[in-house]
């Protein structure tokens, strides 16, 4: 067993003789909370699970634009339309940062896109639910972006450098997403009886799918243990889910809305909320691609990719011409 003891003068760029030694240097860097960078040696399995997680994260951002895009032309005011437009553009940028972070691991954008289109790569289950009323825009910002913030803030300290740095930028924008959603829900909850009912209906439909965003229970998560040992994941699925419940319940109370969970109750001993059973059969069905609007979401992505191929071709042709001129 080859061990590396880290000290300020340890030169971690030592060229280790074999993979055992390289792995020891890798493990020592992770244990020392140092970033692993693209040029560093890393175990294939580490690279593979990062490509899996980062590309799925990127796909989620891009597919996540669709439910909100569905309401852009029906926003109730210019102000709401401008806010929603800004948020959707942010999500596109988040996808860009994350695809770029994944590309540093040696996978191409085209390969990631193909994996999504062929159903070999996942995106967050939450985006396979329909957005039925304007209140869903508020519920998505408040709950979905609220859940995303809790899941993404720890990822600013994930062990892979490009992923952590992408998350710093993304988290700054995510806070605006959550606040605008909550403010929209507040306007509705304090509006007419019809608006209040619309807000409650949206909360009823988005609450449980938001809890599922954090992934399966820890004891059913095949990736968590290893991802936490590699400090890719800093908190477990259940820990973040619990944090989300504890933060969000008082927000719902402040809105005067009811969380659709009859088993929700404050547990003094745990200093946390106990909550009801999540329908994991529904979660696994949606992960399998059986979500209410899963087919429409994927079809929309494939259609966008194919009908905008000319934009990519034009940009690549322009780039080729520029490089030719520079080389001449
Ligand atoms: N939707 C779809 N698939 C999910 C899922 C979800 N909500 N939760 C878990 N899964 C999948 C996992 O991908 C894994 O399948 P795979 O091995 O084939 O990839 C399987 O279910 C088992 O789950 P694990 O807990 O073992 O998997 P992870 O350790 O990867 O944990 C995760 C799942 C917590 C989602 C983790 O991947 C993660 O933190 N990802 C990065 C953050 C992210 O993707 N956030 C959600 C979407 S981003 C967003 O909401 C945009 C915002 O702007 C609105």
| CA geometry: angle 84, 86, 89, nearest 5 deg | 110
pLDDT in tens, 127-181: 999 999 999 999 999 999 999 999 999 999 999 999 999 999 999 999 999 999 9
Tens digits of residue pLDDT in 52-63? 999 999 999 999
CA distance 293 to 128: 5
- If you measure from the C-alpha of residue 213 to the centroid of ligand 1, how many angstroms do you get, rounded to a whole number? 7
- How far is ligand 1, taken at its centre, from the CA of residue 137, in Å? 22
Name the pTM for this structure: 0.93
User: Which DSSP letter does residue 160 get?
Assistant: B
> Rounded distance, CA 91 to CA 72, Å?
14
- Predicted local distance difference test score (pLDDT) of residue 18: 83
Question: pLDDT band at residue 4, thresholds of 50, 70 and 90?
Answer: low
Residue pair 141/181 in contact by the 8 Å Cβ criterion: yes
Is 250's pLDDT higher than 90? Answer: yes
Burial class (CB in 10 A: 0-12, 13-18, 19+), 324: exposed
Q: In this predicted model, what pLDDT tens digit does every residue of 258-300 receive, in sequence order?
A: 999 999 999 999 999 999 999 999 999 999 999 999 999 999 9
Atom of ligand 1 nearest to the CA of 125: 1
Res 328: pLDDT: 84
Closest ligand 1 atom number to CA of residue 54: 41
Q: Cα(257)–Cα(197) distance, rounded to whole angstroms?
A: 9
pLDDT recorded at residue 238: 98
- Burial class (CB within 10 angstroms; exposed 0-12, middle 13-18, buried 19+) of 328: exposed
Report pLDDT digits (tens) over 196-214: 999 999 999 999 999 999 9
pLDDT in tens, 81-105: 999 999 999 999 999 999 999 999 9
Centre of ligand 1 to C-alpha 10, Å, is 36
Ligand 1 atom having least distance to the Cα of 177: 53
Predicted local confidence at residue 8, as pLDDT: 54
Residue nearest atom 46 of ligand 1, based on CA coordinates = 124
Average pLDDT, the chain: 94
> For residue 7, is pLDDT > 80?
no
Give the span between the Cα atoms of 280 and 278, in whole angstroms.
6
Q: Is the pLDDT of residue 15 over 60?
A: no
For residue 134, CA distances in Å to 42, 78, 196 come to 46, 14, 12
- Picking from 7-11, 25-29, 81-85, which range would have the lowest pLDDT averaged per residue? 7-11
Residue 13 has pLDDT above 90, yes or no: no
What pLDDT is stored for residue 1 in this prediction? 47
* Mutational pocket test of ligand 1: of 53, 86, 242, the residue with most ligand atoms within 8 Å of the beta carbon: 53
């Amino acid at each position: 067993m080859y061990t590396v003891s880290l000290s300020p003068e340890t030169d971690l760029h030592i060229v280790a003789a074999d993979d055992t030694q390289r792995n020891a240097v890798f493990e020592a860097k992770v244990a020392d909370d140092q970033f692993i960078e693209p040029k560093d040696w890393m175990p294939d399995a580490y690279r593979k699970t990062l490509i899996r997680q980062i590309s799925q994260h990127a796909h989620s951002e891009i597919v996540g634009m669709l439910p909100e895009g569905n309401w852009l032309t029906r926003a109730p005011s210019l102000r709401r339309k401008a806010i929603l437009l800004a948020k959707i553009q942010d999500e596109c940028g988040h996808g860009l940062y994350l695809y770029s972070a994944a590309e540093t691991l040696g996978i191409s954008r085209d390969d990631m896109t193909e994996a999504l289109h062929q159903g070999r790569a996942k995106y967050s289950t939450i985006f396979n639910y329909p957005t039925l009323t304007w209140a869903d825009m508020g519920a998505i910002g408040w709950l979905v972006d609220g859940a995303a913030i809790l899941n993404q803030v720890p990822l600013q300290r994930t062990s892979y450098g490009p992923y952590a740095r992408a998350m710093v930028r993304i988290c700054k924008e995510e806070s605006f997403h959550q606040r605008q959603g909550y403010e929209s829900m507040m306007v509705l909850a304090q509006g007419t009886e019809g608006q209040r009912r619309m807000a409650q209906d949206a909360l009823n439909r988005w609450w449980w799918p938001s809890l599922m965003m954090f992934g399966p229970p820890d004891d059913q998560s095949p990736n968590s243990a290893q991802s936490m040992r590699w400090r890719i994941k800093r908190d477990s699925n259940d820990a973040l889910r619990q944090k989300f419940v504890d933060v969000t319940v008082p927000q719902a109370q402040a809105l005067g809305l009811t969380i659709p969970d009859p088993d929700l109750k404050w547990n003094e001993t745990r200093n946390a909320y106990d909550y009801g059973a999540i329908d994991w059969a529904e979660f696994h069905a949606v992960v399998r691609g059986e979500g209410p609007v899963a087919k429409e979401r994927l079809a929309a992505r494939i259609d966008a990719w194919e009908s905008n191929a000319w934009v990519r071709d034009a940009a690549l042709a322009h780039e080729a011409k520029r490089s030719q001129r520079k080389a001449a």
